[in-house]
Amino acid sequence: MVRPEKILKELSNLWVDLGHEEQQESDTAGAGVLRACSMTFVTIADESEDPSNLGETVAMLMKEHPSRSVLIRLRPCDDQVLESRVFAQCWMPFGQRRQICCEQIEITASLASLDDVPGVVLPLAVADLPVILWSRSPRLFDMPAFPRIAAMCDKLILDTDAFTSEQHAFDLLSAELKGERLVADLAWSRITRWRETVSQIFVNEECLNALPSFTRVVVEYGSAKPKPEAIYLAAWLQNCLSAVGSKTHVDLLHSEGPVISAVTLSAGGTCDVSIRSAGGGAVEVSANRLSTKSFFPEPSDYLALQEELSITRRDPAFDAAVPVASQYARQLQ
């Protein structure tokens, strides 16, 4: 049995202990620790997931998005299991004398106890600050408890890459987007660097003016079938081209390489654009007969979440991309 009041009491004691410890170790009287919190960040993951990887991601995020972190680990059993523990995530910022600490609460819940989770987590949300829910487990969405768990959050973050069926993931997203809640997909965040590079090319007026004459636009993917990232990129390009009146269809083509291996826009020689993965995070950017090299950081949950946690309003480009991506996924089935 887990009682939220007990967890809050444990948190309170934790801060008092941390303050005492720090004062005993520090030469500066009254230095204490700095408690930082800008949101409640709830993560739901299967218990089978490597806890150290997940913990590392959450710890890295704390520095930029300090939060009260609530990690719910789903145990696949029919027994009634609901356990909790609290601890602090602390770090010493470079050149400073005072530690910064964030709270972490870990709750282990069996599938049979999932219904009890909202009642425990809701009182743990920090008042007046947003509640963000990152669901790493795709099966959560199909569980009866999901609407009650999702109801407590201001933003829901999922990853369509984790779903076995892209079509199912996009359908779920489309349904979520009809509501008031903010919704984000890490697969969409992972293509920001690609989208940004395309956009940067079209700052050039010559390229921008050539936009209506592009007759062939292709997204090349390296996986056996296109992953959500490649589908999103095609959907987004399709939307952008439609917005300027172009009827050109964006094609998805298989080639060797990473999840997205290239984007090419051709206007029959008058203006050709290509962004091609060159390995090791490098991409070759060719536009208007000028070639440069750019570097994309290695995609990770941390980077994608870092981006998503910074966005506190609806993302019109994402909202518009989801239905088109859903159509692509349907055609690819």
Partner 1 sequence: MVNHMAGENPFHDPLRFERKVPECAVVIFGANGDLTKRKLMPALYRLAFERRLSPGFAVIGISRTPMSDDQFREKMRESVQKFLEDSPFDENVWSSFAQGLFYMAGNVDDAKCYTDLKQCLEGVEKQRRTGGNVLFYLSTQPSQYGPTATGLGVVGLNKGDGWRRLVVEKPFGHDLASSRELSTTLHKVFVEEDLYRIDHYLGKETVQNILALRFGNGIFEPLWNRRYISHVQITAAESIGVEGRGAYYQEAGALRDMIQNHLLQVMATVTMEPSASFQPNSVRDERSKLLRSVRVMRPDEVARYAVAGQYGPARLGGENVPGFRQEQGVDPQSQTDTYAAATFFIDNWRWAKVPFYIRSGKRLPKRVSEISIQFHEAPHAVFGNGFAEKAIPNLLILRIQPEEGVSLKFLSKRPGTGMTLRPVSMDFNYGSSFGERSPSAYETLLLDAITGDATLYTRQDMVEASWAVVEPILEVWQTSRFNFPNYAAGSWGPTASDVMLAQHGHVWRKP
Q: Are 314 and 181 in contact (CB under 8 A)?
A: no
Smallest gap, in angstroms, from Cβ of residue 79 to partner 1?
Answer: 40
Residue nearer to partner 1 on the CB measure, 107 or 207: 207
Q: Closest approach of Cβ 317 to partner 1, in Å?
A: 5
The dihedral built from the CA positions of residue 246, 249, 254 and 259, taken in this order, carries a sign that is positive
| Residue 192, token pair as written in the block | 């920001």
Q: DSSP string spanning 219-268?
A: EEE-SSS--HHHHHHHHHHHHHHHHTT--PPEEEEE-SSSSS-EEEEE-T
Q: Binding residues for partner 1, per CB under 8 A?
A: 34, 36, 38, 62-66, 93, 95-96, 100, 192-193, 195-205, 208, 211, 239-244, 282, 285, 287-288, 290-295, 307, 311, 313, 315-317, 320
Based on CB atoms, which residue is closest to partner 1, 196 or 251? 196
Looking at beta carbons only, is 144 or 316 nearer to partner 1? 316
Q: Rounded distance, CA 114 to CA 76, Å?
A: 11
For the bound state, the minimum distance from the C-beta of residue 329 to partner 1, rounded and expressed in Å, comes to: 19
- CB neighbourhood size of 307 (10 A): 15
Spatial distance between the Cα atoms of 86 and 105, rounded to a whole number of angstroms: 4
Residue 75 CB, shortest distance to partner 1, in Å, is 32
Question: Smaller CB distance to partner 1: residue 72 or 285?
Answer: 285
Complex with partner 1: residue 34 or 88, whichever CB lies closer: 34
The nearest distance, CB 36 to partner 1, in angstroms, is 5
Residue 120 Cβ vs partner 1, minimum distance, rounded to whole Å: 28
Cα dist from 192 to 136, 187, 204, 305, 329, whole Å: 20, 10, 19, 12, 20
- Is residue 207 within 8 A of residue 288, CB to CB? The reply is yes
DSSP 144: T
CB of 270 to partner 1, least distance (A): 15
Query: Which of 45/287 has CB closer to partner 1?
Result: 287
Between β-strands 131-135 and 40-46, what pairing exists: parallel, antiparallel or unpaired?
parallel
Closer to partner 1 at the Cβ: 180 or 205? Answer: 205
Nearest to 127 by CA among 68, 51, 71, 192: 68
Q: How far apart are CA 207 and CA 295, in angstroms?
A: 22
